[in-house]
Structure 1
Amino acid sequence: MKKYTADENRYENMQYRRCGKSGIMLPLISLGLWHNFGDKDNFDNARTILRTAFDNGITHFDLANNYGPPYGSAEKNFEKIFKEDFKHYRDELLISTKAGWDMWPGPYGNFGSRKYLIASLDQSLQRMGLDYVDIFYHHRPDPDTPLEETMGALDQIVRDGKALYIGISQYSAKETSKAAEILREQKTPFLIHQPRYNMMDRWVEEGLLNTLEHEGIGSIVFSPLEQGILTNKYLNGIPEDSRAATEGSYLSESQITTEVVEQVQKLNDIAQSRGQSLAQMAVAWLLKDQRVTSVLVGVSKVSQLEDNIGALENLEFSQNELEEIDRILKKD
């Protein structure tokens, strides 16, 4: 693969949104490396996806310690690509990683202790060949570790220069408020929350989005396409090569019910009337809310990434469209 030079027009078409009350602007579409960047995946394809993302103004790449598989391999593969393609552009990139899920055996490789978080980030920086990350997240709430300890570790990480900002993921509104209070006292830059959110999973609407707005914290939402359900892949049931049909997948065949297929077909009709693919409408639906700073997409093909980016061409919804979407997805 020939030497990479970024597209000189990369910032012309991407839109950016301020992250809470910070100085950071995020692209409306960010790239997640959860799937398709591990050792079992095609390295050249991963590299092409990253290049295409940056060429289209996507400046934010999101990783975690256990992305792969195997654990750590997404960060290692990112290091190889970063070193050859993106090192020159480091100051144009916003790179994040996380810790909070199981990473190594024993009692110190999981959840939210000070020992785990600091050790995990040290390992992540080594794997990625970076001096610091722009954002370091606690990946999930820990019910047993005092929040003061977890937030204290994040504060220390920033003070040690290993991360510029910190974030959290999947915290409830109440937990987020408490975390914000602790970090405010420590004067630690609490930038962002990463929750799961899409048209079919709206738990963040029950208080979290209002809390983020009140606290001046941005949000970047993951699983915008409900693990592929909100695409054209399942319009006629379950294809053999789909994620739902793959053993060990996060999406199971039992989730693709007759009711779900009917809902997706009706949503697709609305998308077509808007001149969009269903995936594009799902992304646009999230971005209609200014409290959503960015949508984090995961793709296995360049064409999927380009389709997601195309959502930005139409972010406006009529009241009738919104009401019809709600009617289709309403649960009895």
Structure 2
Amino acid sequence: MSIFFPPFIYSFFLFTGTLISVSSSSFFGMWMGLEMNLMAFIPMIVNTEFNKKSSEAAIKYFLIQAFASAMVIFAAFYFYLYGGSFLSKSSNIFITLALSLKLGMAPFHFWFPQVLEGLSWINTLVLLTWQKIAPLVMMSLLFHDDVLLTLALISAVVGAISGINQTSMRKILAFSSISHLGWVTATMCFSRSLWVDYFIFYCITSFILCLSFWLLNLNYFSQLTLTPNLSDKFIIFINLLSLGGLPPLLGFLPKFLAMVVISESFPALGILIFSSLITLYFYIRLCFSTFTLYKRSAAWNQKSTALKNFFVLSILTSVSILGIFPLNLFNF
């Protein structure tokens, strides 16, 4: 006999687990919150999409997260065993590697695009934003400087290069998330608080994009060449270029603030800027090809976009377009 719980129950435990991890003052409480968060998100994956991809994504996500949690417990045990000695510093290395695996940072990113490909757009948004809060907060307290900066630079470069030949919008968001994680964790190495601002701006941009893809029923870039509606294309690509950090859109603001802080290390800043330029290159290339190519509308797009959906997306897109104006609040 199968028992069905409404999505509200899973969402409640999902948010509760994250809040426990963030607010806990003990290592055990942080780990317990991570496990509660994991066990609440897996039923959301399976119950939302009844297909083979969602089941495969749930199994992969569970195995990777369980292995990363085992690494976190081992690092905690190692720390309590050798705390106060010269070996205690290596426990921070284990914790940093375990949390980077949980986040999907390169070179431990192999599972992240595959899992994201099997999710609905709502679960995609949750995995891109909310599921990263607890590991990032733990990492900001327990990271190893050199290891984290190295992983950040690798993530920025790998996320930018791997997204060049992708046509699936979920995979593009996955590799973009890996690249942005590089910026977030690199900012974390130089500032204990600015990475939160960067992550908030990233969450806003990801929310706008996922909502746009969901309302417009878009999964692949080839679908954009099948629609004659230029307003839909404009909405998608303004938000994509904002996610890439093109000035003067909203996504440029957190990168500008991060560059001010990371300027202490010029080589790291150069690698991050280079990776961001690669990301902008393939966004602009896809934008150009989609606006110049046109085919007849396919069956999936016979229904025109609802007027209320267009107004919602237009308002959210205006947030991206006018995003540079908050720069005045920072006196730059």
Higher relative contact order (CA 8 A, sep 6+): 1
Q: Shorter chain as normaliser: what TM range?
A: under 0.3
TM-score, normalised to structure 1, is 0.23
